[in-house]
Amino acid sequence: MIVFREQRNSKQKRGLHKILIIALESYEVSDFKRSANIDRVIGEAVMGWLKTEGFRASEEGATAVEFAIIAPVLIFVTFAIVESGLAFGADIVLKEATYDAARLGRTGFVTEESTQDATVKERVKSMAGVIMDADKIVVTSLSYKSFDTLKKPEPFIDKNGNDIRDDGENYTDVNGNGKYDLDQGASGYGGTAQVVRYTVTYPWTFHTPFLREIIGNDGTIELSATAVVQNEPY
């Protein structure tokens, strides 16, 4: 603190000395100005010194204020980029996990003392769990007799010809669940040579303020991955 004060005092002395030199030089230029304008000459010298020396601290303060204004925006943009990158990476991981689980499921492989459902779900969660909460991963599967029936509605008798099944019109319960469905896929992993569609979803949440207000539902979006395979003749 003492050193700082000495340096500051020394700087002030140098500034005052500079002011006096400028004032005296201006004062000696004209004998006419010697008595009448000495106050103006000194005043101009003081203002000149302030512009070159005294305002430097003000410029440094302005820089600090500008940074304080810009910093929140830069921080927000940085976090938004990081979070968006994480979401993009999670989506890629989820798709890779889904494809790998589908390839495993089509073989009919089942781990010892387990089921096919548990085996497939464990494969997805073990891969995707490195970047997301495994307990929130949802795995579903629907089986079809062939690719031609994939995501097709169950057939029905269209009595009135409106291309829509109305109540009372007979239909074929392909998936055996006791109701008419717009997708005739049956829940499960199907049998030999059947087509199976795997769907894996995950609720990904953004935490950056403002960003979570404009994306998804309260900052949460659903990541989804789908894979369609035909079972091997096991």
Residue 226 to residues 36, 91, 139: CA-CA distances in angstroms?
A: 92, 12, 10
Dump pLDDT digits (tens) for 63-78: 777 778 888 888 888 9
> Any idea where the domains of the chain sit in the sequence?
2-54, 85-230
Query: How far apart are the C-alpha atoms of 153 and 1, rounded to whole Å?
Result: 84
C-alpha separations of 97 from 53, 104, 226 in Å: 65, 11, 10
Distance of CA 99 to the CA centre of its chain: 24
pLDDT in tens, 216-231: 888 999 999 999 999 9
Q: Which of the pair, 140 or 15, is modelled with greater confidence?
A: 140
Cβ proximity of 143 and 196 under 8 Å: yes
Asked if 207 contacts 86 with a C-beta cutoff of 8 angstroms, the reply is: no
What's the DSSP call for residue 162? S
48-56 mean pLDDT = 56
Q: What is the pTM of this model?
A: 0.69
